Structure 1
Amino acid sequence: MRLIFLGGLGEVGKNIAALEYGNDIIVVDCGIGFPTNEMLGVDMVLPDITYLAERKDKIRAIFITHGHEDHIGSLPYLLPQLDAPIYATRLAIGLISVKLKEHKLLDNAKLNVVEAGSAPIKAGAFAVEFFHIVHSIPDSCGLGIHTPVGTIVHTGDFKFDLTPTDGWRADFGQIAHLGNEGVLALLSECVHVETEGTTPSEQEVKATFDRLFRKAEGRVIIATFGSLIARVQIALDLAYKHGRKVAVLGRSMENNVAMAVEMGYLQVPEDTLIKISEARDLALNKVVVVITGSQGEPSSVLTRIANQENRFINVIPGDTIIVSSTPIPGNEVAIIRVINSLLEQGADVYYSQVARVHVSGHASQEELKMMISLTRPHYIVPIHGERRHMVAYAKMAAEMGIKAENIFICGNGSVLEFTADSATAAEPVRAGALFVDGGSISNIGDVVLRDRQNLSRDGVMTIAVSIDSETGELAGEPDIVSRGFVEPETSDDLLNRVREVVRNTVKLEREAAQVGDWPQLNRRIKEAVSQFLFVQTKRRPMLLPMIVEV
């Protein structure tokens, strides 16, 4: 049995793995990654599923652990390549349906609702059972995957919260039963392994929100993930308690809340949920707005509010803004920039460093240890974490008595081959990243991203040179335009000197009898101007010389 990791290892996000036995493959999760600051113009990152696309006739099913973006977000883009039935709990299916409908894929999708604790689902050589765990979204599950060589337990994202807001605790009995039956390998999330003890309960967030609602003199604006239904429920309950109405803003938030209300996952107190347009007619101290953008995404509602670009909300002194999330690695700078802007506009801003406005949905050390103790696996593979998380988890597991040779720290593209009594690393497979760039999947690579970084840092200069095709002499003055490099009002002298460099380069090439070799002349101009500009400014703008024959 082969276990293939195509995303989610050595990173936070883009979670996807596959299990293969003979002519059968099943896929676990299909999430997006979030672009880093260096990925200019990239909206989201998708896993490269070339390995699966080349074997699509072997794929029997896709199993989804829960409805967060880093576990379902790639489905609208990659499902057409896989064409397999999807199995997930009711809320996850609802969230997936919203996405597929937006992409006009819902009618042909094969969606199947699964209840945690129900009978295993047969998928080729595999049988998969869902067990309930607690996470920051309802209906989250881990998977017990029964294979011909043994049982694999995939934890999904989890924590052992004994007082969840929906009252539905993890199914310790089913997890322990899997352990009693024998677990070949445990695939455990590890992103919170550096935190000692246990992860605080969502009830602590509710207590903080209650205090801030009571203290707020004006509007309360809560930014959180569009799929964090439990946090929306807290906002609804406390708004009702404090005599406020709730509006939601942001396409994903609006769609998800509507779906959750329809499916019964959100309990809305009477006359509490209103439209954003209706909120304008109420006194500010009677309004709560729940919005997207807690990660500082450039096009999100919170960022647009911070940039004074949102048509519904302008920040005024007295607004209480709660950024209810922890930054995903790579997003810290963007979030800090947003928070600073909101503070400058007079809002009272609360975020995780100053108040308990967010708790993680991920297991801390003692909960991770408990999962190991309950399942008693022979092999362990840490997943869903950066390299530092996986290394720390491996050390923790070794301290619990797991043999070092039975702990595998893998990366994207890694393949493990299991028999009933062995596990070995096999030849890795292709597992890179694809980018959603402007609404479509793009194969832009490092060169394009590097060009965008250079443009953002040093700007661009175009140099149009008209050359007499017979003599090789200049047919006119070089036409130079720069953007993002030097201030126009102070650039005349520098640009005149660049023209002189171009004239001298053309003259040298003509004297060297290189007339007609325009690609060569193009390179010479680029090299000469680049060297000149670096000496003068210590910067290297992107240079685009263009030779025009006349």
Structure 2
Amino acid sequence: RSVHIPVIYAPRLAAALIRHKLEDNRIKDPIKIVEYDTNSIIRVADEFTVSFFRVTHSIPDSYGICIDTKQGRIIETGDFKIDLTPVGPNFELDKLARLGSEGVDLLMADSTNAEIEGYTPSETNVRAGVEEIFEKAPGRIIVSTFSSNINRIQQVVEIAATHKRKICILGRSMKNVISIAREYGYIKIPDTSLIEETMLKNYKLSDVCIICTGSQGEPMAALSKIVSGDNRNTAIYPGDTVIFSSNPIPGNGVLVDRLVNNLVKMGADVKQNSLAFSLHSSGHPSRQELRLMQRLVRPKYFMPVHGEYRMLKLHGDVAMQLGMKKENVFICDNGDNIVLKNHKIESGIHISAEDVYIDGNDLDGVSGAVMSDRDVLKNDGMISVLLTIEPKTNTLIVPPLVYARGFASSETSHVVRHSQIRAEEAVRELMKERVSFSEIKATIKSVVSKYVERKTGRKPMIIPVIMNKD
């Protein structure tokens, strides 16, 4: 809301989701949203010409971008995988190859699965695993996946309808996305197959399929609320089959394991993606697809994007294995800058790009340094050292007074008293010669912090306060 965006370009489905998000957040500023498709060409003054090529991903209407400038051509793949049997339209490999044959200066490509050899399985492979579970499940079926995975949701819906199960959608984001996707024809669900959650008690468990959010173990998502008893309309019943049609995102493993354990304790049969059941297919390319992308585009320079630093490094190695010169591969961290000029690329200046944390109602946020200071205060406390000096005579008028916060009382009296003594000794020794305020502060910080850490094992924030007699 603090950034003025004159126009947003988005494909049809993304544009609809953006409009809904703006309405949902009550943002009434007039924002121009321009829809594009594979045939669109967008010109920005005389500097940029942007065109698009369709890619396959877990959400429909995914596109890569070709940016033509006077300085050279850039291709950015966006999220993609090369799925030869997709649920929706095909990857426009012919168009991508044509762009490559015309010459590409810089390729920027998805690196999410750069650690995985081979090809990412097709989205259609998931159908067989889900169908097998539907055929054998004796009771209710609950399918949890990402609300954005529209192709997956469509397959689940078709299988549920085939098995004559009523479909109930749970989770705010899931309801919103499915509603918009149905409106635009990306998900097809007969009205007769849908039921509200208040109607669940009217149907036999074996006649129901619930599609919900919560596959990452999020505490506030629909599946977790069912497990915790916070959903007034339903609960987990012995004999329920719960399908996790996703893989845990790195960092969410503990949450997912906890949710699975609770489901099993309540008598549910939990199915996760495994060799026994193919219940999830990534929307990102594995190493063979990354190699194919390099062969199709044949760029002069390469900058891997979208992934942890180790993934970017591995993706860069893939390019070099295919003949790319090491000096033409740019492994960039947040804030790094590269410059394309006259069809050549070199590193630019680094810009500040650290995390910004929103603090209360201040949308400008606070820096990582401020958050680090707060962390120190929370864990180790604070020591303030106050003293008064006479700058003209370079003498100490009032010896250091030490105030501590965040220490246990049993250790405060002894540690504070001796910190005060050491600070005074150090300052008096220092002031035998002319010194600046900054030198005094640095000395106090060094002496007091070393002593406190040695005695308590803590590293509190040391704040010297020097008062001038004048």
Q: TM class by shorter-chain length?
A: 0.7 to 0.9
Uncovered stretches (5+) of structure 2, i.e. residues with no partner: 382-405, 420-448, 462-470
Structure 2 CA distance for partners of 1:302 and 1:435, relative to 1, 3 Å:
farther
User: SS in structure 2 opposite 1:394?
Assistant: helix
- State the partner residue of 1:133: 55
What's the CA shift string for 1:251-288, capped at 9, x where partnerless?
11111111111111111135112222222321111111
Contact 1:182 1:377 in 2 (8 A): yes
If the length of structure 2 is used for normalisation, what is the TM-score? 0.78
User: SS in structure 2 opposite 1:428?
Assistant: coil
- State the partner residue of 1:152: 74
- State the partner residue of 2:392: none
If the length of structure 1 is used for normalisation, what is the TM-score? 0.68
User: SS in structure 2 opposite 1:160?
Assistant: coil
Alignment RMSD (CA, Å): 3.4
Return the letter of the residue paired with 1:143: I
The Cα shift of 1:119 comes to 3.6
Structure 2 CA distance for partners of 1:226 and 1:440, relative to 1, 3 Å:
farther
Return the letter of the residue paired with 2:366: N
- State the partner residue of 1:313: 234
Separation in structure 2 between the aligned mates of residue 108 and residue 120 of structure 1, nearest angstrom: 24
- State the partner residue of 2:431: none
Separation in structure 2 between the aligned mates of residue 500 and residue 398 of structure 1, nearest angstrom: 61
Q: Tell me, yes or no, if structure 1 residue 224 matches structure 2 residue 145.
A: yes
Return the letter of the residue paired with 1:316: Y
- State the partner residue of 1:285: 206
Contact 1:120 1:130 in 2 (8 A): yes
Q: Tell me, yes or no, if structure 1 residue 347 matches structure 2 residue 278.
A: no
Separation in structure 1 between the aligned mates of residue 417 and residue 357 of structure 2, nearest angstrom: 45
What's the CA shift string for 1:451-472, capped at 9, x where partnerless?
57997xx899xxxxxxxxxxxx
Contact 1:205 1:359 in 2 (8 A): yes
User: SS in structure 2 opposite 1:368?
Assistant: helix
- State the partner residue of 1:384: 306
Contact 2:105 2:344 in 1 (8 A): no
The Cα shift of 1:174 comes to 1.1
Separation in structure 1 between the aligned mates of residue 284 and residue 186 of structure 2, nearest angstrom: 21
Identity %: 38
- State the partner residue of 1:274: 195
Contact 1:237 1:269 in 2 (8 A): no
What's the CA shift string for 1:426-446, capped at 9, x where partnerless?
111121223457898542646
What's the CA shift string for 1:105-159, capped at 9, x where partnerless?
265111011111x142012311111110000000000001111111100001111
Contact 2:354 2:368 in 1 (8 A): no
- State the partner residue of 1:181: 102
Separation in structure 2 between the aligned mates of residue 231 and residue 384 of structure 1, nearest angstrom: 22
Contact 1:127 1:145 in 2 (8 A): yes
Return the letter of the residue paired with 1:443: V
- State the partner residue of 1:26: none
Structure 2 CA distance for partners of 1:459 and 1:304, relative to 1, 3 Å:
farther
Separation in structure 2 between the aligned mates of residue 389 and residue 259 of structure 1, nearest angstrom: 34
Separation in structure 1 between the aligned mates of residue 367 and residue 418 of structure 2, nearest angstrom: 37
Higher relative contact order (CA 8 A, sep 6+): 1
Larger-Rg structure? 2
- State the partner residue of 1:258: 179
Uncovered stretches (5+) of structure 1, i.e. residues with no partner: 1-76, 461-481, 483-497, 510-526, 543-550
- State the partner residue of 1:98: 20
Contact 1:236 1:273 in 2 (8 A): no
Return the letter of the residue paired with 1:274: I
- State the partner residue of 1:370: 292
Structure 2 CA distance for partners of 1:211 and 1:459, relative to 1, 3 Å:
farther
The Cα shift of 1:499 comes to 6.2
Structure 2 CA distance for partners of 1:244 and 1:501, relative to 1, 3 Å:
same
Structure 2 CA distance for partners of 1:305 and 1:445, relative to 1, 3 Å:
farther
Return the letter of the residue paired with 1:309: D
Return the letter of the residue paired with 2:94: G
The Cα shift of 1:356 comes to 1.6
User: SS in structure 2 opposite 1:186?
Assistant: strand
User: SS in structure 2 opposite 1:99?
Assistant: helix
Separation in structure 2 between the aligned mates of residue 506 and residue 459 of structure 1, nearest angstrom: 14
The Cα shift of 1:318 comes to 0.9
Contact 1:133 1:169 in 2 (8 A): yes
TM alignment of 1:25-424, pairs within 5 A: 80-105=2-27, 108-116=30-38, 118-124=39-45, 125-166=47-88, 168-353=89-274, 355-424=277-346
Aligned residue pair count:
411
Return the letter of the residue paired with 2:162: K
Separation in structure 1 between the aligned mates of residue 204 and residue 380 of structure 2, nearest angstrom: 47
Contact 1:236 1:272 in 2 (8 A): no
Return the letter of the residue paired with 1:294: S
Separation in structure 2 between the aligned mates of residue 540 and residue 406 of structure 1, nearest angstrom: 44
The Cα shift of 1:91 comes to 0.6
The Cα shift of 1:303 comes to 2.6
- State the partner residue of 1:73: none
Contact 2:82 2:285 in 1 (8 A): yes
User: SS in structure 2 opposite 1:328?
Assistant: coil
User: SS in structure 1 opposite 2:202?
Assistant: coil
Return the letter of the residue paired with 2:57: H
Moved more, 88-97 or 274-283: 274-283
Contact 2:290 2:318 in 1 (8 A): no
Contact 2:72 2:343 in 1 (8 A): no
Separation in structure 1 between the aligned mates of residue 326 and residue 417 of structure 2, nearest angstrom: 69
